[in-house]
């Protein structure tokens, strides 16, 4: 069973759990970590937690630029980590759609179906599983 590591922020944690459940159906084991604060990130704990994971995914409902995924990417660069990293979040653009969170998530591919599509299309470590 393939393993992947998913970091999420608290307000998006339920999405991460639903995604993990769907990945499990595809034979992919996902370890979910709720990053309860962006700063300061416990770098040592993060590095220990990701050991042996072939793919790291960050999920946030906010803009990717300057967000949690960016902070994790900076740690990867600083520490010389080459594990593939997929950052899932909103593109750096204005959001003009109206509606609650679920409507916005769906419009930007941040609902469970949209996230699964991104993971299966972009995760190089999961490519053999996704091509079944």
Structural domains in the chain, CATH included, are 2-130 (3.40.50.920)
Does pLDDT of 130 surpass 60?
no
pTM score of the predicted model: 0.83
Query: 42-93: per-residue pLDDT in tens?
Result: 899 889 888 888 889 999 888 889 988 999 999 999 999 999 999 999 888 7
Distance between CA atoms of residues 56 and 85, nearest Å? 5
pLDDT score for 98: 76
């Amino acid at each position: 069973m393939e393993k992947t590591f998913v970091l999420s922020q608290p307000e998006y944690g339920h999405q991460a759990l639903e995604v993990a459940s769907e990945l499990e159906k595809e034979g992919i084991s996902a370890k979910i970590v709720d990053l309860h604060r962006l700063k300061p990130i416990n770098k040592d704990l993060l590095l220990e937690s990701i050991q042996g994971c072939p793919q790291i995914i960050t999920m946030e409902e906010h803009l990717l630029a300057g967000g949690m995924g960016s902070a994790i990417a900076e740690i990867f660069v600083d520490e010389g980590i080459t594990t593939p990293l997929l950052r899932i979040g909103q593109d750096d653009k204005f959001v003009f759609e109206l509606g609650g969170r679920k409507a916005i998530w769906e419009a930007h591919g941040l609902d469970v179906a949209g996230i699964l599509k991104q993971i299966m299309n972009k995760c190089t470590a999961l490519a053999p599983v996704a091509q079944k």
